């Protein structure tokens, strides 16, 4: 089992997130490395930055979407349980895939919606920006 540590993100249902509450990747790795010597694993397209224990006992990963944005290499999309297509976990805009499917849309219509949604993906989420807009949905509603 490979554990993933995920930084606290502004996708909480009770909206209690604050920058100061985030335990960042550097701190997570430093705390583990105090007890278990580590080395980084080569980066892949996965969102986690991975580390290997030097004794060969395994690996773990940290999803550092707050302190180490990986938006420029992100290849993830989301489909919510109610049929909304999201081009980013932090997107505020959703694309109504369910209605399109239920209306008997053609493959071309579906392709157009998906291509348009992916093309509209932001360059970055801007969590640290003063004009960051929190998504209205919690992580569990988005499918994260």
DSSP string for residues in 93-141: --EEHHHHHHTT--HHHHHHHHHHHHHT--S---TTSTT----SS-HHH
Residue 62 has pLDDT above 90, yes or no: yes
Both 95 and 46 in one domain: the answer is no
- Is residue 59 located within the same domain as residue 8? yes
Does 123 or 53 have the greater pLDDT score? 53
pLDDT per position as a tens digit, 19-44 = 676 788 899 999 999 999 999 999 87
- Top-confidence residue, 81 or 15: 81
Q: Do 120 and 84 share a structural domain?
A: yes
Among 64, 45, 46, 78, CA closest to 7: 64
* 17: CB partners within 8 A, 6+ apart: 8, 9, 10, 11, 134
| Structural domain boundaries, residue 42 | 3-63
CA distance 41 to 38: 9
- Identify the band that residue 46 occupies on the pLDDT scale cut at 50, 70 and 90: confident
| Residue 14 confidence (pLDDT) | 65
Number of domains in the chain: 2
Q: What is residue 15's predicted lDDT score, i.e. its pLDDT?
A: 65
Query: For residue 68, is it within any domain?
Result: no
In a domain, 70, yes or no: no
Question: Is the CB of residue 139 less than 8 Å from the CB of residue 8?
Answer: no
pLDDT in tens, 65-120: 877 877 777 888 889 999 999 888 878 889 999 999 999 999 999 999 999 999 98
């Amino acid at each position: 089992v490979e554990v993933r540590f995920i930084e606290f993100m502004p996708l909480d249902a009770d909206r209690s997130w604050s920058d100061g509450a985030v335990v960042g990747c550097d701190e997570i790795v430093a705390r583990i490395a105090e007890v278990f010597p580590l080395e980084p694993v080569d980066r892949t397209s996965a969102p986690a930055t991975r580390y290997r224990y030097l004794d060969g006992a395994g690996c773990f990963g940290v999803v550092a979407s707050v302190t180490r944005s990986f938006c420029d290499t992100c290849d993830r999309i989301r489909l919510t349980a109610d049929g909304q297509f999201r081009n980013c976990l932090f997107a505020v805009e959703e694309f109504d895939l369910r209605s399109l499917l239920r209306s008997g849309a053609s493959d071309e219509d579906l392709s157009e919606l998906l291509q348009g949604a992916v093309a509209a993906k932001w360059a970055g989420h801007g969590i640290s920006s003063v004009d960051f807009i929190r998504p209205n949905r919690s992580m569990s509603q988005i499918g994260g």
